């Protein structure tokens, strides 16, 4: 199991398009992927669950990945978040 703390630095936070990108990336892997922020936890392969967290810019969250391809999955999701979902510099 891999746990990584990530911060949202893109303009929109984890809403609509960025959430869809995150879910689509997570869905490419077999591992179980979860996002935790405060008392809330969501399945990162469910767009409704991810958007339901209401994570905005500046929020940090814990990414937990568990499974046979956890390393590749966690790296892909970390790159996505750190690239600000392609929203610019």
Mark out the alpha helices in the chain (DSSP H runs).
16-27, 47-52, 70-82
Is residue 35 among the annotated active site residues? no
How far apart, in whole angstroms, are the C-alpha atoms of residue 20 and residue 48? 10
Burial of 38 (0-12, 13-18, 19+ CB in 10 A): exposed
Given the residues 15, 33, 61, 85, select the one marked as catalytic: 15
By annotation, the residues acting in catalysis are 15
């Amino acid at each position: 199991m891999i746990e990584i703390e990530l911060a949202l630095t893109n303009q929109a936070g984890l809403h609509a398009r960025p959430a869809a990108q995150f879910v689509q990336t997570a869905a490419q892997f077999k591992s179980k992927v979860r996002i935790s922020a405060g008392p809330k936890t969501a399945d990162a392969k469910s767009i409704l669950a991810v958007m339901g967290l209401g994570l905005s810019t500046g929020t940090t969250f814990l990414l937990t990945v568990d499974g046979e391809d956890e390393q590749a999955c966690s790296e892909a999701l970390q790159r996505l978040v750190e690239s600000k979902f392609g929203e610019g510099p």
